[in-house]
Amino acid sequence: MSDETETVLPAPGTVLKTLSEIPDPGGLPADFAPTPIVILRSGETVTAYLNVCPHAGRPFSLPSGKTLVSEGRYLVCPFHGASFDVATGACVGGPAGKSTLKPVAVTVVDGQVVAA
């Protein structure tokens, strides 16, 4: 028996956000429950990860939905400053060590970010 609960991911084709809503560069939480997902945009690159920082489990998005992306390529946790490569999810600085974010497969179809 495992203590871990299964992560519920969106079914392929589920619309998670309208691309034009997402700041470029920037990010927003996905329109999906119960699993928190953050969608990141940098130019034509759109990626998504579980919206849970591996350092202390806090969300990357502030209550306003604002998500910090620095230099167009680093997701920055607003709580203690861990930074992650937007394209790969790899931690590149701060207190989250060598962790990597859990990816959520997405694609863009007709201006919508959808689960892949």
Which residues lie near ligand FES (CB under 6 A)?
Answer: 53, 55-56, 58, 77, 79-82, 94-96
10 or 89, CB closer to ligand FES? 89
Q: Report the run of H or E that residue 108 belongs to, with start and end.
A: strand 106-109
User: Alpha-carbon distance 81 to 41, whole Å?
Assistant: 19
Omega of the bond prior to 25 within 30 degrees of 0, cis?
yes
53 or 86, CB closer to ligand FES? 53
Minimum gap (Å) between residue 62 Cβ and ligand FES: 12
Minimum gap (Å) between residue 116 Cβ and ligand FES: 26
CA distances to 44, 52, 63, 64, 92 from 106, rounded to whole Å, are: 13, 17, 23, 23, 23
Minimum gap (Å) between residue 36 Cβ and ligand FES: 13
